[in-house]
Amino acid sequence: MVEPVLLRVIDLVKHYGDVHAINGISFDVPSASVFTLLGPNGAGKTTTLEILEGIRESDSGEIEVFGIRLRRVTRAVKERMGVLLQDGGFEPYLKVREIMRLFASFFESPMPIDHVLSQVALSDKAGALVRTLSGGQKQRLAVGAALINDPELIFLDEPTTGLDPQARRNMWSIVDALRAAGKTIVLTTHYMEEAEALSDRVCIMDHGVIIAQGAPRELTQDFGEETMIEFRGDELSADALEKLRACCVDLRADGATVTLETEDLPATMESLFDWSRSQGVRLQNLIVRQPNLEDVFLSLTGRRLRE
Amino acid sequence: MKDVLLIALTHVTTAIRERVTLFWFLVFPVFMLVVLSIIFGQIGQEGEIRFDIALIDQDRAAPAARDFSPMIVEVFRELATPQLPGQEPLFALHEPPDGEDPEGFVEREVTALRRGRRAAVVVIPAGFGDAVLRAISAPMGEEPEPARLAVYMSRTDTASQMASEIVAQVLSEIDREILIRSGRFDPSREIATETVWLGRSDAETRYIDFLLPGVILMGFFANGLFGVPGAILFNRDRRILRRYWVTPMSVPRFLAGFSLGHLALCGLQFALLFLLGRYGFGATISFAAPIPFLTLALAAVTFLSFGFLIASLARTANAGMAVANVLNMPMMFLSGMFFPIVGLPSFLLAVVYVNPVSYLVSGLRASVGVESGPFSPALLVGVPLGWIALSMLVAARRLKWDVER
Amino acid sequence: MTALRALLVSESRVLLRDRTTFFFTFAFPLIFVLIFGFVMGGFGNVSRSTMGLFVSSDADRPTLDETLDAAASMALEEYSSLEEMQEAVTDRRIDFALHWDGASLRFLYDANRVQENFAFAQVAAGLSSDFNLRRQGAASAVSVEPIPVGEIASAGWFQLVLPGILAFGILSSGLFAVSGHLTAMKERKVLDRLIVTPMPPLALLVAIAAVRLAVAYVSTLITLFVGMGVFGLRYDVDWIRFAVLVACATVGTMGIGTIIALVVRRPSSASNVANALAIVMMFLAGIYFPVEFMPSFLRAISAGLPLTHLANAMRYATGVMDMAEAEFWAITAAFVGIAALLFPILARYVVRPLRQ
């Protein structure tokens, strides 16, 4: 059964002068799923989202949303959309309930405010002024404002950037709950774990183009049958590292970690232990893991997701 | 419709809750009203002005029939006594203590005058009585020299100038009294002086009636000059507005709500100032007629659009506030709002004529009957309308509703 | 010593680059002076007024003419109809008017010229009594001989106002150096970054004070010279007293700013409080109108304001008003005393962590 596509982006282009922020991207977002745009800062994720949210105009390309083909997002579309901006403010001297009431009034059929407040766990803060809220609480308020119209399509732009781990986990559970409720979510992030944890489909962007698309598992599998070995490398001498490189070709070392890729785990492990014995190196924090999206990005671009 | 109304309510709520805004748009106009009417309402009126005057009679030893100086001293002492309980007398009189050397006293007091501690030093010179007698005994038709009272005063000090003029007035009445008593002046043949007030009523306009429209307009002006660009630029810079633009809320609807909120704030200011003016200071003017009401509305809208103009010209909130601060003083003072525009050089007069505040102040005062100023009705309405049109034109083209990336 | 030098350089740069502050510190007093000079030039001066005249009776015409000729400070415009003259009054083409009908002197005023009629009425009263005396052939028995004191040829009230404006400029500069500049540094955590260095807090304060002082000198001198140049005001400046006063007042007003910064909880509110206080002081310090105009309770408040005394001292230093020498030095000592008392406290404030 083919799931209907709620949002389709066709050959979107946007440049600023000579810089191509987005250079012809296309993707489909199936309904009732989480679709993530993953990429480093400057990849064009936010620009793409802003065009889809209707606050930026593309230079060319089309959008098909809710079955309607458009050049630009219209007011009717906004009625059925919810948006969480990457950076947005609220009036500091308004109360939480007042903010919700204000946003509710923008839509034709908003949900009851108390219901949304409990959805984002802000019921006990309903009477608090915005300026007294913590960063995480403000972010939840922003989510509440994005959900007040019970939207079918939700955009979340970098929803957990700057949040502490607890707040980040709260946000993830909200996203899961939304997907379970049948919503379609388009998410942008530069956190690999977030993309892996939440997404049904991931679209990796770099320098304004899509370099890979697919379910997270597919992408890492495409990467090959390889296994990754990692250990702490901050105290290794350059000499020892060179010796290791001699036996294990696919080696990456930044200052903190040494990463080996291998298709033959037992053989590589043996070489590794030999090396550690001969060099007198202790293998600290040794882990063996599956390749992840970070590795995918690295292999595709030679750079890390997070600079 | 509800969204527009809620935007308006948001604007009002925020202004009231934010202490800084509240100060500037409510507390400050009230302060100005209170201070200015207390201070300037006193000019020419009994009750609150008091001058420190020194007085010495150097003719005290004059024999009887020449003892005019005690009469003068008596008059001054009378003026230094409160007429009604609680009221301040016109003078605080400083006389030499018994046994003090008169020369020393005068020197001391003149020094005090130089130092701003006295408004005037009045010296009744020795031989004063003789001089008066000579003046009133001279044959009719001759012009004898009057007896002169020396009044030390300072020309740079307004208080001193006023005090010496008042002393001159007092002397003039004493003069009249002396002339009547000596038979040289017949009060029955005196020509009466009448005072005729041309204006709304037959009485002199009260200062509070003159001041109140100006202060109300000052409140509206502050609202438009600082409040409007402040709210827009601040909300834009903090990306509060951006949250609106990703919803069905649009710029025109937002503008409608914002303007409504602004007008509501102006209404609040007006109510507060008017009530204070009427019940606190006894203002008699009324705005409950079409023309005053429309003038108030015109003023509110003019300043609103002027605020949009400023918001269009500034890139950040700080820059906007800086522009507002620069424009504030010249526009307020070069408009006749507080001081009459007399004797200005032409380059400043040019500012007066371009300044929409000049016309709005004049128009509002005229509409409640306390002004008959130099501007024709066409200008009173036309210039503000022109500014509204210009501001909206510039704002439509240049006002950015979202920060640049 | 090098810390101090480095701070001096950085504080100067901050001031010069921040165009807004730069503008306000220099241009603002200038604008103030220019506007007030022109607008208030006429205030308080009974300069030439214009009186309209309409005579509907020939009685006593010669006496009337004699009286009017003798009236020095007045220009005359005669009208051929009462209505015309009344219109001229309400249109403000003339200041007031006289209608002589043979029986009474009827003076007409525009009821709305509230702030000026007092002066016109005085002229009218003078004319009245003079007319009556001449008519009966009587001559005044007593009169007043005004003896002006003061060495400087006066140019009016504005000559006294300008030093007051200078005083206000110094006040706001010092106030905002602490409750504005320093509190902003605290709020933006710039202070925190400086404190973790070996820099002694007092060095920062000295640097700020030094920069403000330089600014105060330049600004007051520019304003003074503009006043003299544009309005032809004359001052007899005692440069030593002037220099000492500016220095002491600058640090003293920084001390006052410290009080505000300590009392107000949030640093960002401090500058607003300072602003409000400065404006209140500006009105009540007797700078723009004489203290005599205020009711006694306001006069009492005025006597307690630092700005009042600073303005008086500035008037003394620029030679427009006299003052007891002891009083002048007492005022400067008081400002230095405030500074000496509060700078150490301010130094501790700089170091104290920002209270959330």
Strands (E) in chain C, as ranges, are 49-55, 74-78, 96-100, 104-110, 142-149
User: Do chain A and C touch: 3 or more Cβ pairs under 8 angstroms?
Assistant: no
- Burial, C162: exposed, middle or buried (Cβ in 10 Å; 0-12, 13-18, 19+)? buried
Q: What is the DSSP string of A185-204?
A: EEEEES-HHHHHHH-SEEEE
Tell me, yes or no, if B400 comes closer than 8 A to chain A by beta carbon.
no
Q: Are A21 and A81 part of one and the same domain?
A: yes
For the record, the structure tokens of C114 come out as 């509230």
Residue A45 CA to residue A42 CA, distance in Å, equals: 8
Assess if residue C144 is contained within a domain. no
Helix H or strand E encompassing A15: strand A5-16
Tell me, yes or no, if B73 comes closer than 8 A to chain A by beta carbon.
no
Which residues 218-257 of chain B have a CB within 8 Å of chain C? none
Cβ atoms B26, B269 nearer than 8 A:
yes
Q: Please tell me which of the candidates C124, C129, C148 has its beta carbon nearest to residue B154.
A: C148
Q: Count CB neighbours of A256 within 10 A.
A: 10
Average confidence (pLDDT) per 10 residues, chain A, 307 residues: 77 88 92 92 89 89 88 89 90 95 95 93 94 90 94 93 89 92 92 91 92 90 80 79 78 79 87 86 86 86 77
Spatial neighbors of C214 by CB under 8 A, at least 6 apart, are C12
Q: Which residues of A touch chain B, with CB atoms under 8 Å apart?
A: 53-55, 75, 78-79, 81, 83, 85, 87-91, 93-94, 98, 101-103, 105-107, 129, 142, 145, 149
Asked if C272's CB is within 8 angstroms of B20's CB, the reply is yes
Tell me, yes or no, if B13 comes closer than 8 A to chain A by beta carbon.
yes
Tell me, yes or no, if B18 comes closer than 8 A to chain C by beta carbon.
no
Give the orientation angle of helix B69-79 with respect to helix B158-181, to 10 degrees: 130
Q: Are C347 and C303 part of one and the same domain?
A: yes
Assess if residue C148 is contained within a domain. no
Assess if residue A193 is contained within a domain. yes
**A9: three-class secondary structure by DSSP:** strand
> Final residue of a domain: which of A221, A236, A271?
A221
Asked if C23's CB is within 8 angstroms of B38's CB, the reply is no
Q: How far is B220 from chain A (nearest CA, A)?
A: 22
What residues of C are in contact with residue B132 (Cβ under 8 Å)? 141-142
Assess if residue C303 is contained within a domain. yes
Q: How far is B344 from chain A (nearest CA, A)?
A: 45
Q: pTM of this prediction?
A: 0.83
> Final residue of a domain: which of B189, B222, B248?
B189
Assess if residue A300 is contained within a domain. no
Asked if A87's CB is within 8 angstroms of B248's CB, the reply is no
Cβ atoms A56, B242 nearer than 8 A:
no
Assess if residue B306 is contained within a domain. yes
- List per-residue pLDDT tens for chain C, 356 residues long: 677 888 888 888 877 777 666 666 677 777 777 777 766 654 444 467 889 999 988 888 888 888 888 887 788 889 999 999 998 888 888 889 999 988 899 999 988 887 778 888 888 988 998 899 888 888 888 889 989 887 655 656 778 888 998 998 899 888 888 887 888 787 777 777 777 777 777 788 888 888 888 888 988 898 888 888 877 778 888 999 999 999 999 999 999 988 888 888 777 777 778 888 888 888 888 887 778 777 778 888 999 999 999 999 999 999 888 888 999 999 999 999 999 998 888 888 777 766 54
Cβ atoms B298, B217 nearer than 8 A:
no
For the record, the structure tokens of C172 come out as 């706001």
Q: How far is C281 from chain B (nearest CA, A)?
A: 12
> Final residue of a domain: which of B159, B189, B219?
B189
Which residues 220-239 of chain B have a CB within 8 Å of chain A? 235, 238-239
For the record, the structure tokens of B392 come out as 């909206």
Residue B272 CA to residue B218 CA, distance in Å, equals: 13
Q: Are C194 and C290 part of one and the same domain?
A: yes
pLDDT tens readout for residues A163-191: 889 889 989 999 999 999 999 999 999 88
Whole-Å CA distances, C148 to B23, B95, C144, C153, C162: 44, 20, 12, 10, 21
The number of angstroms, rounded, from the C-alpha of A114 to the middle of its chain's C-alpha atoms is 29
Report the complex ipTM.
0.85
Q: Are A283 and A173 part of one and the same domain?
A: no
The confidence band for B199, taking pLDDT boundaries of 50, 70 and 90, is confident
Cβ atoms A10, A65 nearer than 8 A:
no
Cβ atoms A156, A185 nearer than 8 A:
yes
Q: Are A29 and A131 part of one and the same domain?
A: yes
Spatial neighbors of A21 by CB under 8 A, at least 6 apart, are A14, A15, A44, A47, A208
Residue A283 sits in a domain whose CATH number is 3.30.70.980
> Final residue of a domain: which of B154, B189, B224?
B189
Q: Are A120 and A213 part of one and the same domain?
A: yes
Q: Are C203 and C176 part of one and the same domain?
A: yes
State which residues form the domain around A235.
Answer: 225-290
Q: Are B273 and B303 part of one and the same domain?
A: yes
State which residues form the domain around C86.
Answer: 49-135
The number of angstroms, rounded, from the C-alpha of A307 to the middle of its chain's C-alpha atoms is 16
Q: What is the DSSP string of A216-240?
A: HHHHHHHT-S-EEEEEE-TT--HHH
The neighbours of chain B, by the rule of 3 or more Cβ pairs under 8 Å, are: A, C
Residue C300 CA to residue C302 CA, distance in Å, equals: 5
Helix H or strand E encompassing A155: strand A153-157
Q: Please tell me which of the candidates B39, B143, B176 has its beta carbon nearest to residue C129.
A: B176
Q: Are A216 and A231 part of one and the same domain?
A: no
Q: How far is A48 from chain B (nearest CA, A)?
A: 14
Q: Are B300 and B352 part of one and the same domain?
A: yes
Residue B258 CA to residue B252 CA, distance in Å, equals: 10
